[in-house]
Amino acid sequence: MKKNRRIRIINVVGARPNFMKIAPLMAEYKKHPEIEAIIVHTGQHYGRAMSQLFFDELEIPRPEINLGVRSGSHGVQTAEIMKRFEPVVLKYKPDLVLVVGDVNSTIACALVAAKIGIKVAHVEAGLRSFDREMPEEINRVLTDAISDYLFVTEPSGLVNLKKEGIPNGKVFFVGNVMIDTLKQNVKKADQSTILYKLRVKEKEYTLVTLHRPTNVDDPIVLKRFLDVFKKISYRLPVIFPAHPRTLKNIKTFNFESKMATQPRVSDVPSNVGLQLIKPLGYLDFLRLMASAKVVLTDSGGIQEETTILKVPCLTLRENTERPITVEVGTNILVGTHPDDILKSFDKLMENYNVRSITPDLWDGSAAERIVRILLNSLL
């Protein structure tokens, strides 16, 4: 390569969790004029609350290309992303395609690049739930198998990739870009007025998120969760920013009447039991999460963020691909059975002893390490 040659990197985003992971990388690229960074948004998540607001709040440059794929089954969505992404790669001829996380956009764009012969970098590599019923698990395993640079967030990732036969020279333990974004924005989130709007006080409410298909697509399963949240709300008010998929199913299954309230935010009385609200932007949600007494979730990223924020997290799943959050953090795997969830919640309320150790390299500098490695390798 010529010494003065610029490195062209296509950075793929598609779904809400991707935006928090790409933000610190885009900021780090700006420090290096030898890098030409291009953002491709697949459009897997769209709309203001699920996409546009994150670019504004996290100061991410507007995507040069939006593939506009939107919703669809896993097969249809993955195929459509591949079909639309291939001409982009052929036109721009990047030195590297960088993908993050485990959504359909991740595996689809990694496959296109690998088949064309373009190097692939996977940020958040090596995470495993060992549950092949999770579509995300398939995406993780396949993306790692075809990547040239595997950037790992926690020690379990190193172990998993070694067992899968990935050469050590491809694997780099760099820390967690999600935590880079959290650390850079937590003070800004303190200025959010979301607690005032929802009429709740710090450490006097439960925050709930629920979006995984296994938890929200079956009406029997979803109703069980809603009943649990309602019971919890009798003890501690519950704020439930509902993912569009979850909100759609609540309406489809006619469960709205079973919720404690369906108010507009301005109509919510103080100390209301359960507030079902629309998705929030990053800063409002970060403020809600940091100020909650406890978080109930099936999200992987929230398990990590609550570990750093030292907020107890009850994970509504039978497994986690982020075991470090259980080992050193505030995360407790409680499963999906209502009795187990309620027992764990009651036990936590009776003995509210919050302890958390910051995992290695979750120090806010993961993006810097990633970019340094790419520069050293590609130049």
CA–chain centroid gap for 253, Å, is 26
d(CA 344, CA 350): 10
Nearest alpha-carbon partner for 305 in 212, 199, 180: 180
Based on the residue annotation, tell me whether 41 is a catalytic residue of this protein. Answer: no
Using CB atoms within 10 Å of the CB of residue 146, give its burial: 0 to 12 exposed, 13 to 18 middle, 19+ buried: middle
Cα distances (angstroms) measured from residue 74 to each of 10, 82, 134, 316, 354: 23, 12, 12, 23, 39
SS3 label, residue 281: coil
Question: ∠ at Cα 183 (178, 186), nearest 5°?
Answer: 110
Question: ∠ at Cα 34 (33, 35), nearest 5°?
Answer: 90
Contact 316, 296 (CB under 8 A): yes
Considering the candidates 32, 74, 122, 211, report the single residue annotated as catalytic: 211
d(CA 90, CA 40): 14
Q: In what order do the strands lie in the sheet with 96-100?
A: 65-66, 35-41, 7-13, 96-100, 119-125, 149-152, 171-173
CA–chain centroid gap for 358, Å, is 19
Contact 206, 237 (CB under 8 A): yes
76-79, Cβ contacts within 8 angstroms, sequence gap of 24 or more: 77/44, 77/104, 77/108, 78/104, 78/107, 78/108, 79/108
**How does DSSP classify residue 348?**
H
Contact 199, 269 (CB under 8 A): yes
Q: What token pair was written down for 49?
A: 């609350």
Residues annotated as catalytic are 211
